[in-house]
Structure 1
């Protein structure tokens, strides 16, 4: 079975995915102003994607003999759309760094399924990061 460090990192990933799924959904609900109209729809869709990530990671962790967490990382919604997007950019950057580390460890452990799972999730997170950067530029 997987080493404890990898299982711990997968739980960190689950925690983050739960966090951002809630964070983005609340931002979808709370964002106001004309400039938020385009952003809120996308926030809702990204929130759903993040929840699917949490589920996929939890399934993998369960298979590896770990106990998936139900606790989100700290949720920061923000007050203005600009604050929200800044928080989202930061959250995506942190996820990207963690997922790259998970991929490296999975490769070292020859856990090709976890590596493949996180390569797909990493691609999604990089896309989300790019979208938030574009929103920030408006």
Structure 2
């Protein structure tokens, strides 16, 4: 059962990373205002890292001889990270990023646990590596949130 759990978590992580790339790209384009520039730059820098995560996960699925999900199996879940109606709503985007990072952290922690139970040290190591990146992103955006809330 655990091997199936590992596979399902890898597939979830793969599609989540690709959804994050799409939402980070969109928000890095649509945000307006002087206050938005640092957030846009941060999102643009994170796009390549999130895409790299998807590539690593995809490679792991391939190594496990598992089928990678395509666009037809994709189900959008990052509702709070959708581009804001008000393109100057930087705090809304920050909150959406934090929601996405929290979800990613939860997924990778579950993957670490499932891989450990399945005696799959390669997947466990991959999950720990990506988890480290996601926790760093969360810390960065928590800092942005503190700055933006204190300025309001």
Identify whether the pair has TM-score above 0.5, normalized to the shorter chain: yes
> In structure 2, what is the equivalent of residue 120 of structure 1?
129
Q: Highest Rg: 1 or 2?
A: 2
Q: CA deviation at 1:36?
A: 0.9
TM-score normalised by the chain length of structure 1: 0.93
Q: CA deviation at 1:56?
A: 0.3
Structure 2 stretches of 5 or more lacking a match? 148-152
Name segments (4+ residues, structure 1) moved above 4 Å: none
CA contact (8 A) 1:21 1:47 kept: yes
TM-score normalised by the chain length of structure 2: 0.85
> In structure 1, what is the equivalent of residue 145 of structure 2?
136
2-structure distance, mates of 1:21, 1:81:
18
> In structure 1, what is the equivalent of residue 101 of structure 2?
92
Number of equivalent positions: 137
Name the SS of the counterpart of 1:78 in structure 2: coil
Structure 1 stretches of 5 or more lacking a match? none
> In structure 1, what is the equivalent of residue 119 of structure 2?
110
